[in-house]
Structure formats: structure tokens, C-alpha cells
Structure 1
Amino acid sequence: MNDLKTVILDAYDSDMLSIKLAAINNKVRFSILEILRDFEKINKAEDGSFKKEPLYSREINLILLNNYNINITTQMLGQHFKQLVEADLVEEVVVKKEVPNKIGRRSVKAYVLKECAFESLFLDVSFLSDELLTFFDLYKSNQRFSDGEHCVLTIFNGVDKGKTFKVHKQEKVLIGRKANFNANDLSSSTILLDNSYSTVSNVSKPHLKLFFKDDGWYILDSGSTNGTYIGDIKVPTGVETKLKANSFLKLSKGNGGAVIYCSF
């Protein structure tokens, strides 16, 4: 182990994760995201892509009132938009619109949902409300276990969604798919994922090792079949990689992969 190289990947900004989650955890802002998402669906182009036609604040305010029974001032709505923009979830643009009580088309601020809004959370812009709310619930549950002595791992997708594991600084944990193993066949320092995570390496050749040393938590992928990712960046094989607090690990990409949230 000591002969291995060590790298630090700044693949995911934990501060931005907190900003995104704070922006999501609000009824008005969540409703705005749904409005922008649904408006893109309505304006789907013939080739199947989404047409980016921004909505301006007056239009969104009317939808909030009529469809969500949310009545807020223009100034307050502007504060919500500011937080969504700062969270990199919504893009602000300037468009020409016919404004009531004004002659001719005027330049007004409008908003569109960013294509990559939830990419770092492994969700896309077609998210469903219950999926995103479940995501936030899992995040809050994970945070309750944080005590400074453990790395807390929560499974965010698939059959094992919601399972949480606490790994102490003195433990080294192997993570992999069950294959033909039962929990009783292995030590407590092994995290077995369901076999439905078909592209995750099985535990006989663990997909990943998690451990604490010196100044932080590290992972080691010794050569899994389909790779490990922090955010969207692949972890080098055979290299000790230091984790940042509040990181998302993806064991393999696409169907059959596992998404694990790590906090410490």
C-alpha cells in the first residue's frame, strides 16, 4: 500500500453540493424548477430535443399562483431566482417580451433550467418530484450519522437505496457485489451490494477499498471491471485517491452501477 501513488481529485465541489441542496429544499424554488422542466417538455422539438424558450418572472409568477396556489411578490420571486442561479440550477437570460401596460416588446430577464443542473447529483432534467425529494431525504438521513470519527456511506440508487453504513477511521472496508457470497461468509469490514448492480465488480475481487490514513479518507480501485468515478471523473486504477467531504462515488456508469454518497 505504501508504494502506491496518491492523488487528490477536485472532481466535485462539496460547497456547491450544499448550495444545490439548500436551493432544492424550498417549496417555491422546487415549484419553479418543475415549471421550467415542464415548459421544456411542452416545447419539445420535432427531433426529440428540448427547445430552450425561457420564461420570464411575470409568466412564472402567474403559474405559481394558478397551478401551485403560491402568491409572492415580484421582489421575493427575484430572491428565489437569485438562489437558483447561484446554485447553478437555472440560467438567467435576457429576452424580448410583450409586457402588460407597456408599448412594444421590452427586454426582460427570463429563466431556463440548465441542462447540466443535476448532472453532479446523477439526476437529469427529466427528474420526477418524488425522486428528487427522496434524494434530499437520503442526504438529510446521511448527515445525521456524521460524527467526525466515521465515514458515512449511503446508497442512492437501485435495490439497496437508503442503506447506510458507518465506517470507523480504524476500519478498512471492501465494497463489491454479492456474487455467490452471503453476508455470513465475510467479515464485518465488507459492504455487499445486491447482485442487481450487475456492472459492479463482485466482492471476490472488490470493486473498491475505503480507508482512513494520515489526513483523510481514501479510496482504492485496484482494477474493477467498469471503473469508479468521483462526480463524473474516473478514478485512476491502482492509485490511492483522497476524498473530499460530501462526495458522490459512482461504481460503474450506466445501468447496473451503484451511486454512493460519502460524508465525514
Structure 2
Amino acid sequence: CNYFETNNVSLFNNGTLALQIGLEGMGIAGEVITTPFTFVATTHALYWNKIRPVFVDIEPNYYTLDPEKVEAAITPWTTAILPVHVFGHPCNVQALADIARRYNLRLIYDAAHAFGVRIENKSIAHFGDMSMFSFHATKLYHSLEGGMLTFQDSGLKDILDYLKNFGFKNEMEVVMPGTNAKMNEMQALMGSMILGYLDKLIEKRRKITEIYREVNENECCYSLANYLFETLLIILNCREDWERNAFNRGR
């Protein structure tokens, strides 16, 4: 909670179920505008909630959802926008927020790659109505497996906690249908341990990124202002030229 500067947090056993339950808890239905440039779990979470995904194109520089394309895709059945912060680089959060506000849509971010990202010294968790973070072992920050939701409406906390724990309100009372999506103790322990090393991990990746940046000049797609160094995206016009250039530089 302190890391994200919010008390509105719910932990899960993986990011996919976190997003699926988050959509259910918010009552999202109809059509949701999203991106095809993502892991399949983003779309699967919509599918399991019987929501129709509407795919729009991405921006050419950072591969995040293009706000102009989003606005053009809105229909009377659109209820939400589900953008993805790709490879640790955030979406155009201000433009997407403006669109959501104008059309009275919910804004839910797939932030699986964005743990630790900040915009203007504010945690990425503060943007949109809800954000889903993945703690899979392949992520910069992980708990072997796990997920988390952050949200602006504190009233969602109880609903999400019921949904991820079989609908239990207490040891004797079940108030709604639910499932088993709780983070377990081993996941929580691993996550707590790695959190203490997170700044060192980010700095290590930053140095590696700068080496690639030096070798590849302008082929690395990221902005230092907001980039987390989660995953480095390199656009190659010719793989053979890149390999030859890297070899000649001794990297």
C-alpha cells in the first residue's frame, strides 16, 4: 500500500484472475475497447465476463493504445476502455482519461508490466478507475506468481475480497458466488522479500538498457521519463546488420 500510495488494494493468486474479478466487481458489460498487442490473458478476462472486446490500433512509438483510435471506436454499447502499459512504458494516461470522462466510460488498466512506474512523481496506480498488476515470475517484481488490483472506489474492496474467496463475508456467512483467487502465504512472503531489492533490480536493468541503447542507437523504443526497464523493445530493420554491429562493438 505504501509503495503505491493507496489503501485501495486487493491481492490475488495471479494477474489473470485479478483482472477477471476486477471486471466482474465493477459490473463491466457490453463492449470494451482494448488492444490486440498484449498477452492473451487481457482478452480472456473479457471473454470470461461475457464482454465483447473491440480491438483498436496502437501508437507506433511505444505500442500502447492509440487514443485517437479509441474515440473513433466508441459505440452506444461501449462501457469501458482497457489499455495496456506495454513493456513497462505507460499509455497516454491523460488523453485516455479525457476520453473516458467525455463519454462516461470506466478506465481499467492492464498494468502487468508497470509495477513501479511513475508519471510526474505519481504512482501509475493513481490513473484510471482500476489497475491490474501481475506478479508472475517473469516480471521485474514478482511473488513467483500473483496479482494485484488497485482502484479509486474504496467501496470495491469488500466486493473484490468476497469474489476472490468463495463469497465469504466471515467464517459462517456467504454473501455471493465467488471463486478461489486469494494470494497464498508463500506468494506473500516471496513478494515481501523481493520488494526490498526492487530499486537495485531497476538500476541493474537501467544499466543493461543503456548498453543496448548505445549499440542500437535509436532503435530502442522507450522514454526515460516514465520507463521502468521492465522489458526493452528493439525495432530491427535488418537482424543481420544488428548482429554484425553488436559483434564489432564487442557486446
Which protein shows a greater Rg? 1
User: Structure 1 or 2: larger helix share?
Assistant: 2
**TM superposition score category, shorter chain reference:** under 0.3
Q: Which has the higher contact order (CA 8 A, sep 6+)?
A: 2
- TM-score computed with the length of structure 2 as normaliser: 0.24
User: Structure 1 or 2: larger strand share?
Assistant: 1
